[in-house]
Amino acid sequence: MEETFAVKLEKKRYLPDPRCRAAARVPDYPRAYREFMRDPEGFWDRVARELVWFKPWDQVREWNYPYAKWFVNGQLNITASCLDRHAAGDRKDKPAIIWRGEGGEEERVFTYDGLRREVMRFANGLKLLGVGKGDRVCIYMPLVPEQVVAMLACARIGAVHSVVFGGFGPDALATRINDAAAKVLITADVAYRRGKTVPLREIALEALARTPCVERVVVLRREHPKVDLDPDREVDYADLMAAAAPSSPAEAMDAEDPLFILYTSGSTGAPKGIVHTCGGYAVGAYYTTKCVFDIKESDVYWCTADPGWITGHSYVVYGPLAVGTTVVIVEGAPDHPDPGACWRQVRDLGVTVFYTAPTAIRMFMRYGDRWPAKYDLSTLRVLGSVGEPLNPEAFEWYYHRIGGGRCPIVDTWWQTETGMHMATTMIGEAMKPGFVGKAVPGAVVDVVDRTGRPVPPGTGGFLVVREPWPAMLRGVHGNDERYRAYWNTIPGCYTAGDLAVKDEDGYIMVLGRADDLIVVAGHNIGTAEVESALVSHDAVAEAAVIGKPDPLKGNAIKAFVTLRAGVIPDDGLSGELARHVKKSLGPVAVPAEIEYVDRLPKTRSGKIMRRVLRARELGMDPGDISTLEE
Ligand code: 6R9
């Protein structure tokens, strides 16, 4: 998107029940925001004091544009706030995790004390494998409690985890393992999805043929009979636990030590390893979980995300456990074995706070009202949405059919890079379908033109953050230039890469990505990764992929492919290419449509101009094409 542009805005609004405003953790948003703006450091200082620190900080924030430090010289371990303090107090026997297998037949419950003991033992297991502070550990697992245990165990000993979503294929996994130079890989024999098994370990072994950095592999064996392991390299999860000592003190970490790396797709080149640190991230994830979702002691909280994505890191694992709530985790597809599966879990477990993605809401919408209507959903009190724009139709359906017209919806805008919610409609404020709302207390979010000047209401522009915030990314692993690019594009601002518009009241509507990232069913897919997977097929010369609006997935991938000389596309080729991409990157990255073309539009310097393809496909003006080659 080159310049600012006019956008027509919806006017509809919903006023929340005054009772939920009065009872909210932040009962007066305008006042809370004003207080934050008056003294940002004082605001975050007060929040940080609610967590466990081993050594207090000397200074709340040090801003050396574009490098920030938060809670300077403070020491902590996030697991002390997530586990020890609850296990030592009133929440000892409170369920920390209620896990259910697909379909809900299998259930495992971990109390705060029980989870702490699992984490400490696995932390010692990692030490037995030679893992220490600062080492990178890759976690490639299904949505099982052991995935959460593995993350927390890394945090316990100061190892840096890099979780790779279990839906990714061997190439995507190998790239991420090598970029982080992970020493240990933690995986499982299989994941269960739609009644089928996904052979995670086999995929991992394929990746491991190209990852010399990995010394040892931990395998959680779920199937019977158990798969055979390679004794030289692999170790069984249960055996490792049995060999490990039970108690493990939480390693004292500097607030600015890295906590994890999480990969997000860049617009060009390899995926970016976003680095988050121990102190600021903990504070940001904790505050937003507590206040945006308004978590109370009796809540049962379910975020449907996988920890393979940032939503799972901040709002399945670290935020909710730091708050001390009960977290529901369900493996498998939410519409299996039938489209009521998700709502049955809400009823059976008495879920009160439910957080999911627009793509799931649209899927449930398509199945029809009769599925949620079969279940008593009256325990629900807060609904959340994340990952892509929640279109007004989906908002209405979610609000009425799931929330019974009673529950506020928090549509939360944020990113892997931001680590925490940045904009939403805080509980108690009027909700506007299609709009995420305003900045959360603690963040300064704006919509600007390319010089950094705020654009007037109704004019689209770039979504930016003006001030550093505690959970902001501290770097891109091994690539400072890519980090600096976030702060160099628009003067004085962090550029999110999204387009947005504000209305007269300052409510923000997110319009989508300004770059070449495609958000498919809530998953960020980089054009570059899909293109390189296509090009790795013998028949393909070049490829360009674009996102095309899709009623269900938000966006679907369309690929334009030029074939190698002499290759004639026959009926089977598209299917073969789709399988090829699936094998390499996983099912989320498979193009929905493939078109064979003679050549691709390119700049003179040889860069493919995807926006020209997108404009042609959607019947829009391609904008400035002065750099287009002949
Ligand atoms: C948390 C997460 C980030 C991108 C982001 C934007 C889109 C996220 C949104 C939203 C509209 C929302 N996005 N939340 N768009 N409304 N409430 O999804 O992180 O995977 O890094 O994706 O997702 O485009 O820039 P991540």
Minimum CA distance residue for ligand 1 atom 10: 388
pLDDT of residue 2: 37
The token duo for 204 is: 């991992």
Pocket test for ligand 1, best of 1, 306, 316, 415 (most atoms within 8 A of CB): 415
* pLDDT tens-digit series, residues 103-131: 888 999 999 999 999 999 999 999 999 99
- Sheet arrangement for strand 593-596: 540-550, 554-563, 593-596
Has residue 167 been placed in a domain? yes
Read off the pLDDT of residues 416-438 as tens digits, 9 standing for 90 and up: 999 999 999 999 999 999 999 99
| Residue 266 Cβ < 6 Å to ligand 1 | no
| Residue 138 covered by a domain | yes
Quick one: pLDDT at residue 606? 62
Tell me how far apart the alpha carbons of residues 183 and 192 are, in angstroms, rounded to a whole number: 27
CB 114 within 8 A of CB 230: no
CATH of the domain at 160: 3.40.50.980
Is the peptide bond preceding residue 389 cis, with omega within 30 degrees of 0?
no
Per the CB < 8 A criterion, the answer to whether 289 and 322 are in contact is yes
- Ligand 1: residue of 524, 525, 553 to mutate (most ligand atoms within 8 A of CB) is 524
Examine residue 545 and state whether it is found in any structural domain, yes or no: yes
User: At a CB cut-off of 8 Å and minimum separation 6, what does 531 contact?
Assistant: 542, 543, 544, 545, 559, 608
The Cα 191–Cα 58 span in angstroms is 45
Return mean pLDDT, the chain.
93
Q: 391, 412, 472, 519: which to mutate for ligand 1, most atoms within 8 A of CB? A: 519
The answer, yes or no, to whether any atom of ligand 1 lies below 6 A from the CB of 264, is yes
Last residue of a domain, one of 232, 254, 276: 254
Whole-number Å distance, alpha carbon 445 to ligand 1 midpoint, is 14
Instruction: Identify residue 52 by its one-letter amino acid code.
Output: V
Task: Report the distance separating Cα 258 and Cα 506, nearest Å.
Answer: 35
Atom number in ligand 1 closest to CA 424? 17
Paired with 525 in beta bridges are 518
The string of pLDDT tens digits covering residues 367-405 is 889 999 999 999 999 999 998 888 888 899 999 999 999
Q: Is the CB of 175 inside a 6 Å radius of any atom of ligand 1?
A: no
Residue 169 belongs to domain spanning: 85-91+108-254
Could you tell me the CATH number of the domain that includes residue 553? 3.30.300.30
Residue 419 inside a domain? The answer is no
Is 288's C-beta closer than 6 angstroms to any atom of ligand 1? no
Q: Are the C-beta atoms of residues 166 and 141 closer than 8 Å to each other?
A: yes
Mutate to test the pocket of ligand 1, among 510, 513, 516, 553 (most ligand atoms within 8 A of CB): 510
Beta bridge pairs of residue 500: 461, 510
Cβ-contact 518, 510 below 8 angstroms:
no
Q: Determine whether the shortest distance from the Cβ of 359 to ligand 1 is under 6 A.
A: no
Total domains, the chain: 2
Please check whether residue 408 lies inside any domain of the structure.
Answer: no
Mutation to probe ligand 1, out of 498, 508, 517, 553 (largest number of atoms < 8 A from CB): 498
Which of these three, 254, 278, 295, is where a domain ends? 254
What band does 268 get if pLDDT is binned at 50, 70 and 90? low
* Minimum-distance ligand 1 atom for the alpha carbon of 522: 18
CB of 182 closer than 8 Å to CB of 138: yes
Res 25 pLDDT > 70:
yes
Which of 214, 234, 254 terminates a domain? The answer is: 254
Q: Is residue 314 part of a domain?
A: no
Decide: 310 in ligand 1 pocket, CB within 6 A: yes
Per-residue pLDDT, 7: 65
ipTM given for this complex? 1.00
> In this model, does residue 483 exceed pLDDT 50?
yes
Please tell me the distance between residue 312's alpha carbon and the centre of ligand 1 in angstroms: 13
Residues in the chain: 630
Interval between CA 235 and ligand 1 midpoint (Å)? 37
pLDDT tens for 48-96 read 999 999 999 999 999 999 999 999 999 999 999 999 999 999 999 999 9
Q: In this structure, is residue 431 part of a structural domain? A: no
Give the pLDDT band (50/70/90) at residue 516. low
Ligand 1: atom nearest CA of 390 is 16
Q: Which atom of ligand 1 is nearest to the CA of 463?
A: 25
Question: Would the CA dihedral through 212, 234, 311, 260 be positive or negative?
Answer: negative
Within a domain: 196: yes
**Stretch 503-525: mean pLDDT, rounded?**
83
